[in-house]
């Protein structure tokens, strides 16, 4: 049986496995002829990320309804799956784009729509991901001492859902600016 100390290493192993699976799926799908539904300038990874983020947003709302129905185990599994899948998407799609396209020109180009919207999205989305990881530790483990744990968990989970959806909206805006509107 695993103690609480091995939970972070297990989570990291799950994230790495999910990343590897995502990479293999992307490699297989690259060989399939594509029907363009999204922006013409977007990469396959950007399109996949957009769809994945929207599906994960819907899954988070479904998870909230699971909690409302007092199905807490299903709620925890749903929300944790989304949180860990998002880590894989950050590692595979979002961070490399941000690192190569946005980070080198900061802070000089924050007022440019191309870099500004991506920076705003990055700030909001990373805040949502880190806060979600914190809530996962609070709700799913006893790793954190009592003085580091939030008291009104339901309230903070609702705040997290709202923050996550702000991240999704800014992500859609980033997609639009980068691939439909940018020169």
Q: What is the DSSP string of 122-152?
A: HHHHHHHHHHHHHHHHHHH-S-S-GGGS-S-
Q: In whole angstroms, what is the distance from residue 166 CA to residue 164 CA? A: 5
In this predicted structure, the answer to whether residue 14 has a pLDDT above a threshold of 70 is: no
User: Residue 160 corresponds to which tokens in the numbers above?
Assistant: 């997290």
Q: What is the pLDDT of residue 85?
A: 92
- Name which of 90-94, 108-112, 121-125, 143-147 the model is least confident about: 108-112
Asked if the peptide bond before residue 164 counts as cis, ω within 30 degrees of 0, the response is no
Q: Output the pTM of the full model.
A: 0.73
Q: In whole angstroms, what is the distance from residue 97 CA to residue 95 CA? A: 5
In this predicted structure, the answer to whether residue 4 has a pLDDT above a threshold of 60 is: no
Query: What is the pLDDT averaged over residues 114-131?
Result: 89
Residue 162 CB contacts under 8 Å (≥ 6 apart), including other chains? none
Q: Return the domain boundaries, the chain.
A: 4-181
Q: What is the pLDDT of residue 3?
A: 55
Burial of 29 (0-12, 13-18, 19+ CB in 10 A): exposed
- Name which of 17-26, 53-62, 75-84, 94-103 the model is least confident about: 17-26
Q: What is residue 111's DSSP assignment?
A: T
Q: What is the pLDDT of residue 146?
A: 86
Checking 151-157 for CB contacts under 8 A at 24+ apart, the result is 154/67, 157/64, 157/67
**May I ask the CATH architecture of the domain 4-181?**
Up-down Bundle (1.20)
- Name which of 14-23, 50-59, 83-92 the model is least confident about: 14-23
């Amino acid at each position: 049986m695993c103690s609480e100390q091995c939970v972070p290493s297990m989570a990291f192993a799950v994230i790495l496995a999910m990343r590897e699976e995502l990479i293999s799926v992307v490699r297989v799908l690259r060989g399939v002829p594509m029907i363009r539904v999204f922006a013409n300038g977007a990469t396959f990874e950007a399109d996949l990320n957009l769809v994945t983020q929207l599906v994960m947003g819907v899954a988070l709302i479904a998870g909230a309804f699971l909690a409302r129905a007092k199905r807490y185990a299903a709620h925890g599994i749903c929300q944790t799956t989304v949180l860990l899948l998002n880590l894989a998407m950050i590692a595979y799609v979002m961070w490399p784009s941000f690192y190569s396209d946005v980070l080198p020109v900061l802070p000089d180009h924050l007022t440019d729509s191309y870099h500004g919207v991506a920076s705003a999205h990055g700030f909001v989305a990373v805040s949502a991901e880190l806060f979600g990881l914190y809530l996962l530790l609070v709700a799913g483990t006893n790793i954190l001492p009592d003085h580091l744990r939030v008291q009104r968990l339901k309230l903070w989970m609702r705040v997290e859902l709202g923050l996550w959806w702000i991240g999704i909206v800014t992500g859609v805006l980033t997609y639009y600016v980068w691939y439909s509107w940018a020169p």
